[in-house]
Amino acid sequence: MFNVIRFLKIFAVIFVSLVDCFENDYLDLEGYISQSQESGRNEIKKILQPVNHFDAQDTRTWNMTYIQNLEFWKPNGPIYINIGGPFPYEVQNNIFKKGFFLYDLVNETNGALFGSEHRYYGSTTPLNLTKTDNLKYLNSQQALADVAKLIKYVKSMLKAENSKVVVVGGNMDGNAGNLAAWMRLFYSDLVDAAVSASGAVLAKADFKDYYETVGENFLKYGTPGCYDKIAKLFNKFQTLLSTPEGIKQLKKEDDICDFVDMSKKENQQIFFSKNLFSFRIFSAIANDADYFKVVCEKNFNDTSIKSKLPQSKSDHIAKDGQDWCNNYDFDFNFNTPTKFPLLYQMCTEFGSFPTTEEGKHPFTNGVPVEYYYKACKVQFGPEFGKNRIEDAVKATNEMYGGLHPNVTKVVFVNGEFDPYRKLGVTENLSDDAPAFVIANSGRAGLLENKDSKNKELIEAKKKVKSLIKKWIGL
């Protein structure tokens, strides 16, 4: 059987969820990427992009990394662009492998395959991350313009002016699925069809539905009584944090750093947020209901303090030169010189803060939306508070259309286990903008998982391939 716990230990190191952790754990890839480093048939390339696409007077540029695979290319074949999310380009490696949806579609249609790296999240950035003002060029409009320029360039490079272009977006976190749909909305002259996998197209500040979905997954698919054991564990945390004696016990049992004042509500909120991290992972990566049973069997046979999924060392700091302790200090986590780009986009465009203050779930009320509002202000400045966030969310929905974007030839695909489907299109918008929810599948399962025994996933891949081929005239 697949070793889920071992996978999570590895995955937690590279999976950056600033929604919960907000830690600067991005891989340092400086100097690692060469101009044309090859991995199999994939070539790593660079394209010069403007820092600001919408100001002709601003001549600053930066090098955006992209992946190129031409092994199946035939003249006038379709061009596929996989849009990157908030990770370095290496996270896209799977989709460039045999057996995965996009690679196989490219093979079947004699296409060219490219993968773009999102500005500010990869090996190079337009500007450094130490000043909030440098992040003003990090937004979905600039990212869409990056993809548009890449499309124009590769069509010229391949001498393929008549080739159809398909954009695909979907990853374990972030907004790639949104961008794929929005490319058809804003650049329909360049993009002929799009696949939006797990695209959270609706911006929403207080995303209280998130952990309700996570709880539903464990209630429906976990072992009998698992949901109640999870609830008992989080209630135990809450009870211990309510008294000095309980805090002392919790700090000892959970190896919390001595200097962290766990009576402060902000530090308690970070504690809950980080202890929810593993539940986020499982609802994202699960492509089989048995995943939840395995989690329950491995981790929730009792409700001791150790009945938690493992955390990575990134959640700790050195103590006495050898040991490690959990650092849940709010200022340590947020008042840092380097700014967190994913948090910036959440604070200025998307919101989507997963909260536990309301809703039916087993995780208590330890993470209110105010926790995220304060994080935005501490990280980026006092003006980045509740009012600005709510105004930004409203503006994003007005610009792109929320759950009803005015698009055609876009297929929206969500996974049953994915909490972000609550922010996605799950019902057909029209005959040319259909939607699928794949049973027994997690986030971006269409793109991230090989064909398995999941009949629903296999069938969804067939349907989406058929739609794309029809839309590009094959």
CA distances from 187 to 85, 145, 149, 455 (A): 19, 9, 11, 34
Among 351, 366, 394, the domain boundary falls at: 394
Map tokens 């593993």 to a residue. 278
Question: Comparing C-alpha atoms, which of 379, 367, 365, 385 is closest to residue 331?
Answer: 379
Q: Which domain holds residue 293?
A: 4-22+205-394
Among 372, 394, 416, the domain boundary falls at: 394
Look at residue 310 in the predicted model and tell me its pLDDT. 45
Select the more confidently predicted residue: 394 or 295: 394
Look at residue 16 in the predicted model and tell me its pLDDT. 35
Distance of CA 247 to the CA centre of its chain: 33
Is residue 76 located within the same domain as residue 112?
A: yes
* pLDDT tens-digit readout, 96-150: 888 899 999 999 999 999 999 999 999 889 999 999 999 999 999 999 999 999 9
Q: What band does 313 get if pLDDT is binned at 50, 70 and 90?
A: very low
Tally of domains in the chain: 2
Among 361, 394, 427, the domain boundary falls at: 394
Is residue 368 located within the same domain as residue 431?
A: no
Q: Is the separation of the CB atoms in 468 and 195 below 8 Å? A: yes
Q: Is the separation of the CB atoms in 73 and 158 below 8 Å? A: yes
Look at residue 322 in the predicted model and tell me its pLDDT. 43
Is residue 324 located within the same domain as residue 383?
A: yes
Angle at the Cα of 388 from the Cα atoms of 383 and 389, rounded to 5 degrees: 120
CATH of the domain at 81: 3.40.50.1820
The answer to the question of residue 345 being in a domain is: yes
Look at residue 48 in the predicted model and tell me its pLDDT. 97
Q: How many CB atoms lie within 10 A of CB 466?
A: 12
Most confident of 10-19, 149-158, 301-310: 149-158
Token reading at 461: 């891949």
Is residue 50 located within the same domain as residue 66?
A: yes
* pLDDT tens-digit readout, 187-228: 999 999 999 999 999 999 999 999 999 999 999 999 999 999
Q: How far apart are CA 63 and CA 132, in angstroms?
A: 21
Map tokens 């393929």 to a residue. 160
Is residue 188 located within the same domain as residue 42?
A: yes
Is residue 87 located within the same domain as residue 122?
A: yes
The answer to the question of residue 33 being in a domain is: no
* pLDDT tens-digit readout, 370-426: 999 999 999 999 999 999 999 999 999 999 999 999 999 999 999 999 999 999 999
CA distances from 451 to 13, 287, 348, 469 (A): 26, 10, 37, 19
Token reading at 269: 């909120």
Q: Is the separation of the CB atoms in 145 and 53 below 8 Å? A: yes
Residues 6+ apart with CB under 8 A from 17: 173, 277, 280, 281
Look at residue 459 in the predicted model and tell me its pLDDT. 93
Q: Return the minimum-mean-pLDDT range out of 84-93, 398-407, 436-445.
A: 84-93
